[in-house]
Amino acid sequence: MAVTLNRGADVLAHALARAGARQLFSLSGNQIMPVYDAAIDAGLNIAHVRHEGAAVHMADAWGRLTGEPGIALLTGGPGHANGIGALYTALASESPLVMLSGHAPLNQLGRGAFQEMAQADMAAPVTKASFTARSAETVGDDIARAMRVARGGRPGPVHLSLPFDVLENKVVNGDECVPSADAFHAPQQALAPHLADAALDALARAQCPLIITGPQLASSRGQALREQLGKTTGVAVVCMESPRGIADPCLGAFGDVLAEADLIMLIGKQPDFTLRFAQPPAVNAQCKFIVIDSDIAVLRQSMATIQGERVVLSSVADAPAAIQGLIARHDTKSKINTYSKSVMEVIAYRPAAWKNTVATSPGTLHALEIGRAVQKILDDADDPILVVDGGEFGQWAQACMSASTRIINGPAGSIGSAIPFALAARVVRPNATVVAVLGDGTFGFHIAEFDTAVRHQLPFVAVVGNDSCWNAEYQIQLRTYGKDRTVGCELLPGVAYEKAVAALGGYGERVTSAADLPSALQRAVKSKLPACVNVMIERIPAPTVSRNAPASSGAH
């Protein structure tokens, strides 16, 4: 039966449906009740969470896994404010999402309306665009604009505030207010053929060429593009998505060979702090650059950072389109050169001692012991998804665990997103084996989302490294100020997080022995419940992987 679109909320909901955004991540509130009502007729699913930040993180993970903007729906005022922090994680990770927030009525603004605040202004610094809907008739166009901006160029978050009167106001011929399907998509910016040819020629002439991409290409789809580009050109392609940059443990000893590069092609990757601003000693002062970016302002800033005379070619183009253009213009597949072989070898490098490393403190495990056990679970899964949070334990996990699909906290360096990421992963791929690895400090951010996971039947396994500490900050204090001046980083010792999860309807186990961990993980997976395996671990610094340095030296 045809549905009559009578209100702005109806136009909004059906615009989302036409865009293909059938899943909303939300926490209810007064200002968005019309959208909840309209979602029923539009066939939109709502995953109802316990904190607005979790809804935004889930939309972020949706964007990374599908390439389509995730949709977070929050109420206005404090609900909107609660979601803003999570936008920065998505922005730094180049993840497409749209955060919709309820808003005080337009006709009451400036007169002390309920929960009135300058929401668009608040969200602007951590989004690609942030604006407020102005009429029921044009709210569908607003959604189309938000979706185009979120997915276009360098993907990222967009915010749209929805005044209550815009949602409730009546519309005439509401069907005509819903944009056509193509209005939600942004055209791709291709790399000009002659520039692709020039870039390929420069790569072929270089002795030690290297291609570095940004986090947009960290997804499974991006990995496939990167691998194809590497095979086509014979040049190592490195994706950087960690706040630890060239010291990212996942990149092995990459920092040992970066300075040998004589030509670096940056595709959607800024020469920022993660690349040490492309300056010596991290990067050779004589190294030349090819810079390709979708954003002209970012391109100009990158050239200024590198210093113009080192840039031999620059172009505006979207990263995936640029790679596709380079592949299409290359006549034959090239043999990988000696330098590229060394780059791949150092990225794969892990200290031999790691294979047998065990804890030295009774009743605890070393992070590497956990890594070996979790990797077995991932290897045995038909569709594994590994989610890893930040912090010292997270760095060990990123260094020693792998899966065909991986989501990490990203360049923002934030913590706390792992549990919402894991829930969204189960929504996207209902039959996947999802393992989230996080520290005990991080676990506290969104423990209540186990209630969400139980209600929505989203089983996953959270492996918590419990050292009763904010260990990243503790290690900074230890290195900088000394053991007698560590303060404010201790947590309650040995908290039974597994019992809290069980109380919320999930499955929980506590582990204090490496021998007990494999079976505990198996039981957690087989429980078919949201699960917590609470593992007591040694308090150690994150790894620094280098062929010339101790394997477990402190993180930078």
- Domain end (from 184, 207, 235): 184
Give DSSP secondary structure letters for 87-135.
Answer: HHHHHHTT--EEEEEEE--GGGTTS--TT---HHHHHGGGSSEEEE---
User: Is pLDDT at 241 greater than 90 in this prediction?
Assistant: yes
546 vs 291, higher pLDDT: 291
* Structure tokens given for 234: 């014979």
pLDDT in tens, 100-119: 999 999 998 889 988 989 99
**Is residue 341 a part of any domain in this protein?**
yes
CATH number where 242 lies: 3.40.50.1220
Q: Are residues 69 and 152 in the same domain?
A: yes
Q: What is the 3-state secondary structure (H, E, C) of 402-455?
A: CCCEEEECCCCCCCCCHHHHHHHHHHHCCCCEEEEEEEHHHHCCCCCHHHHHHH
Name residue 457's amino acid. Answer: Q
Residue 292 and residue 191 in contact, taking contact as beta carbons nearer than 8 Å: yes
Looking at every residue in the chain, the average pLDDT score rounds to: 95
pLDDT at residue 3 tops 90: no
Beta bridge pairs of residue 102: 162
Of 165, 184, 203, the position where a domain reaches its end is 184
Same domain, 452 and 513: yes
- The predicted pLDDT at position 309 comes to 87
Please tell me whether residues 254 and 146 are part of one structural domain.
no
- 164: buried, middle or exposed (CB in 10 Å: 19+, 13-18, 0-12)? buried
Nearest to 56 by CA among 115, 97, 12, 102: 97
C-beta neighbour count of 431 within 10 angstroms: 8
3-class DSSP string for 190-230:
CCCHHHHHHHHHHHHHCCCEEEEECHHHHCHHHHHHHHHHH
Q: For residues 457 and 448, give the distance between their C-alpha atoms in angstroms, rounded to a whole number.
A: 15
Q: Is pLDDT of 126 > 50? A: yes
Of residues 39 and 556, more confidently modeled = 39
450 and 501 part of one domain? yes
Same domain, 232 and 265: yes
Q: Is 498 exposed, middle or buried, given 0-12, 13-18 or 19+ CB atoms closer than 10 A?
A: buried
Q: Based on the fold, state whether residues 94 and 236 are members of the same structural domain.
A: no
The residue with tokens 């497409």 is 96
* Dist CA 241 CA 238 (whole Å): 10
Within a domain: residue 552?
no
User: 483-495 burial by CB neighbour count: b if 16+ within 10 A, else e?
Assistant: eeebeebebeeeb
Q: Which helix (H) or strand (E) holds 508?
A: strand 507-511
**Using N-to-C axis directions, what is the helix angle for 193-205 and 319-329, rounded to 10°?**
70
At 360 the three-state DSSP class reads: coil
Q: Are residues 385 and 307 in the same domain?
A: no
Does the structure show a pLDDT above 50 at 553?
A: no
Closest CA to 77 of 41, 121, 31: 31
1 has pLDDT over 70: no
- Residues 245 and 302 reside in one and the same domain: yes
Residue 408 has pLDDT above 60, yes or no: yes
Interatomic CA distance for residues 86 and 409, integer angstroms:
11
Residue 554 lies in a domain: no
Residue 492 is assigned to a structural domain of this protein? yes
Q: Residue 551 above 80 pLDDT?
A: no
The number of distinct structural domains making up the chain is 3
Residues 37-83: tens digit of each pLDDT:
999 999 999 999 999 999 999 999 999 999 999 999 999 999 999 99
User: What is the pLDDT, as a whole number, of residue 113?
Assistant: 86
Q: How far apart are CA 338 and CA 344, in angstroms?
A: 10
pLDDT computed for residue 274 by the predictor: 96
Residue 106 has a CB neighbour count (10 Å cut-off) of 16
- The HSE-up count of residue 368 (CA atoms within 13 Å, CB side) is 18
- Express each pLDDT in 329-356 by its tens digit: 997 777 888 999 999 999 999 999 999 9
Quick one: 360 and 492 in the same domain? yes
pLDDT 10s digits, 267-303 = 999 999 999 999 999 999 999 999 999 999 999 999 9
Q: Considering the domain boundaries, does residue 330 fall inside one?
A: yes
What are the residue ranges of helices labelled H in 310-359? 319-329, 338-348
Domain span at 180 = 8-184
Residue 373 three-state SS: helix
Over 80: is that where the pLDDT of 213 sits?
yes
Task: Verify cis geometry, omega within 30 degrees of 0, for the bond prior to 34.
Answer: no
Query: Of the candidates 135, 154, 184, which is a domain's last residue?
Result: 184
pLDDT band at 4 (very low <50, low <70, confident <90, very high): confident
Residue 482 resides in a domain: yes
pLDDT of residue 549: 62
Rounded to whole angstroms, how far apart are CA atoms 299 and 284?
A: 21
Q: Tokens for 78?
A: 């404090």
Q: What is residue 554's predicted lDDT score, i.e. its pLDDT?
A: 37
Q: How far is residue 277's CA from residue 267's CA, in Å, rounded to a whole number? A: 15
Residues 321 and 217 reside in one and the same domain? yes
Q: Looking at residue 555, what is its pLDDT?
A: 34
Question: Is the residue at 541 inside a domain?
Answer: no
| CA-to-CA dists, residue 299 to 90, 129, 254, 317, 515, angstroms | 20, 19, 25, 10, 52
Provide the CATH number for the domain around residue 530: 3.40.50.970
* Shared-domain flag, residues 357 and 499: yes
Strands 23-26 and 45-48: parallel
156-196 per-position pLDDT tens digit: 999 999 999 999 999 999 999 999 999 999 999 999 999 99
Q: Which residues pair with 162 in a beta bridge?
A: 102
**Cβ atoms of residues 403 and 451 within 8 Å:** no
Position 3 in a domain: no
Torsion sign over Cα 134, 138, 141, 147: positive
Average pLDDT over residues 504-512: 98
Q: What are phi and psi of 311, to 5 degrees?
A: -90, 115
Looking at residue 282, its amino acid is A
> What tokens were used for 419?
């549990």
**What does pTM read for this prediction?**
0.95
Beta-strand pair 311-316/288-293: parallel
Residues 389 and 283 in one domain: no
What is residue 550's predicted lDDT score, i.e. its pLDDT?
54
For the chain, what's the residue count? Answer: 556
Residues 6+ apart with CB under 8 A from 472: 390, 391, 392, 542, 555
